Chain A
Amino acid sequence: MHQLYLTVGPTRFRLASTWRRPLDQLAALYKDYPTSQDGYADFTVRLEPEKPWRRYFRPSVHISGDFWLPDAAPLPLDQSLLAAEMGMNLQMALGWRRHLLLHASSVEKDGKALLMTGLSGSGKSTLSAMLAEKGWRFMGDEFALLNPDTGMAHSFPRLISLKNEAIAAMQAIVPENRFGPLMKGTPKGDIRHIVPPLDAVNRMVDAAKPALLLFPRFGHDPALRDMGKSEIFVRLTQASTNYVALGETGFRALTQFVDTVPTRAMDYQSGDQAEELIDSLWSKLP
């Protein structure tokens, strides 16, 4: 097995793969991230053939590791970069306990964090990528990590995963050399990764105080709506991968978050509209 160690935010991964390709791709895209050469890791991710003969013949990549799902579908070898990213996400979602994990994107300005959560297709990932090019520090497009003791948001800035139409939209503002390979026809559609801005990588251990939570929704007339605390709470329990696993700690962290962080539902039809709405809210924050 080939291996590669990667550090993203607070987490150290050991990736092991039957093929060199996904690890070479990862090494190139994560070249500015800190490397750990001491051999320690919080999680091991494994990429292996689904069956022994599928190493060479119509190679298919089975994702597993310290934590795994019994029914994970294998991916073709030309999507092995996606498989590696999914493998790392899986370890976090099922195994990480040092923070409450919210399935949310996050960006920071002036030490304060903006979190965006919502269903797939809400545009939270694209919005965070866009804001990262406009003066905000990118903290993550997949998981926001809440420290249960301090309430602070921690960064998990892995590669930004763009889907379908978002790829062309971001190609307009991000230079080509920050893009990974285009993977067509994945289970989630066309996918292309971008490397976060260097500043996001250099400052990935800096925490920020959560200041605003948005539930963006793409494709509707621009609007901001208040939400009831109980609705916010329930939707965040659904957006958290480890709320149940943390038990009482998770409950305390989440209720404190809902009690203290201003929250809005935001409808928008374009990046410019979203940016305008976000700026209007941000400028009124205490």
Chain B
Amino acid sequence: MMRDAQPLVDALREPETVLSLDGAGWTNLISIARAESLIGSLAHRLAEIAVPEQVGPILKDAIQATDLARQQALWEADCARRALAPLNCKVVLMKGTAYVAADLDAGVGRSIGDLDIMVAQDSLPAVEEALLDASWEWVKPDPYDDQYYRKHMHELPPLIHRDRDRMIDVHHTTLPLTAKPTPNPQAMLDAAIRLESSLYVMAPADMVLHSVAHLFADGDLAGGLRNLWDIDRLVRQFAEADEGFWTELGVRARLHQLEPHLARALRLAARLYDTPVYKYRAGHAKFADYLYIRRLLARDGWGRETRKFTRQAFYIRSHWLRMPPLMLVRHLWTKWRKG
């Protein structure tokens, strides 16, 4: 039995590695890829490989499923565009929806769930009202959660559309307000690039940095392999298209206070996916990199989460990073009492 997610990472990095898999090896790979939401990306990556006849239909299914996810994500983005059009504010698409809207390599085969958008903080009340008018509703009616989001988070409490059952997260910046790095949302909005649809996506360097912030400073690395795969695809494409990209990435990382985070993401991406990185941005290997790799690969061939202790440590760390200690205690106490 495969003990970690290495076969998935190998297949994404170097598709020919799958040629040595036997039947059980394929079944393990597929379970891992599904669990990590990377089955669509894997299927596209293996497009040129002669896979066994038992596997071909599974990969074809995954491609069709993500084709539909792309179509639905773009439709959902357009619904939001229409609801917000009268406000005349910049609506910046984020994450998966941005990758497919801008037709980037990172969007190929990507699974997409919620719609994430960013708007200027001062237009939040109007945006909220316009979405509520257009049949979006609150998901969390709990007053503590609602207050918590509004006071400390980088986004509104999530909204869900009454008829289409799809969630929208409205961000006004990229990290919780209580987290230590403070990215500059105004600079991100100013540099955003207008698409034909009149929606916006972040400029290349900011897009990478948002993905980095999402990976490290906001969460317990759940879904980390996919997040890092996004970073690999983005960096490859942007660096190839523009030789000034690495310089710009450094400038923006400093501006958004994400230099160490970017460096670590680049080292991990290079290590797992062989991402070509500019060594002055990636810095020197650190011991903690090894712990991150251990956590990122913590999944066995049945598709199960493994390394409970490592996972738990990263979970606790994620809360630690999001808020100062006293506030964390108060928050956990309130959450615990509410069961």
Contacts and interface: CB of A to CB of B under 8 A. Distances in A.
Contacts of B71: 247
Given A46-B303, A65-B303, A247-B71, A40 B52 contact: yes
Given A12-B54, A247-B68, A40 B303 contact: no
B24 interface: yes
Interface stretch (B27-35, B173-181, B213-221, B229-237): B27-35
Interface of B: 1, 22-27, 30-31, 34-35, 52, 54-55, 57-58, 61, 64-65, 68, 71, 302-304
A257 to B, nearest CB: 20
Interface in A42-85: 42, 44, 46, 48, 65-67
Contact of B23 (A38, A44, A65): A38
B260 to A, nearest CB: 34
B57 A98 contact: yes
Nearest to B68: A247
Nearest to B67: A247
A66 B35 contact: yes
A1 B57 contact: no
A67 B303 CA distance: 10
Contacts of B55: 40
Contact of B54 (A1, A40, A97): A40
B122 to A, nearest CB: 36
B23 A40 contact: yes
B57 A44 contact: no
Which 4 residue pairs of A and B lie closest in terms of their CB atoms, listed nearest first? A39-B23, A39-B24, A40-B54, A38-B23
Given A38-B23, A245-B68, A247-B71, A44 B303 contact: yes
15 contacts: A14-B27, A16-B302, A38-B23, A39-B24, A39-B26, A39-B27, A40-B23, A40-B55, A42-B58, A44-B30, A46-B304, A48-B304, A66-B303, A245-B68, A249-B64
Contacts of A66: 30-31, 34-35, 303
Contacts of B23: 38-40
Interface in A83-113: 95, 97-98
Contacts of A223: none
Given A39-B27, A40-B23, 8 more contacts: A16-B302, A39-B24, A39-B25, A39-B26, A40-B55, A46-B303, A66-B303, A249-B64
Dominant secondary structure at the B interface: helix
A40 B61 contact: no
Contact of B27 (A40, A46, A48): A40
A261 interface: no
B111 to A, nearest CB: 13
A281 interface: no
A66 B54 CA distance: 17
A41 interface: yes
Interface of A: 1, 12, 14, 16, 38-42, 44, 46, 48, 65-67, 95, 97-98, 245-247, 249
A246 B30 CA distance: 20
Contacts of A14: 27
Nearest to B23: A39
B53 to A, nearest CB: 9
A269 B58 CA distance: 43
Contacts of B58: 42
A71 to B, nearest CB: 15
Nearest to B71: A247
B64 A97 contact: yes
A40 B58 CA distance: 11
B30 A39 contact: no
Contacts of A1: 1, 302
A57 to B, nearest CB: 19
A38 B65 contact: no
A48 B306 CA distance: 13
A245 B65 contact: yes
A46 B61 contact: no
B31 A40 contact: no
Contacts of B304: 46, 48
B31 to A, nearest CB: 5
Contacts of B52: 40
A46 B65 CA distance: 23
A38 B302 contact: no
A97 B39 CA distance: 14
A142 to B, nearest CB: 20
Contacts of A48: 304
Nearest to A41: B27
Contacts of A16: 302
A246 B61 CA distance: 10
A42 B22 CA distance: 14
A97 B67 CA distance: 13
A98 B35 CA distance: 20
Contact of B302 (A39, A44, A67): A44
Contacts of A12: 54
A67 B65 contact: no
Nearest to B34: A66
Nearest to A48: B304
Given A245-B68, A247-B68, A39 B31 contact: no
A208 B154 CA distance: 55
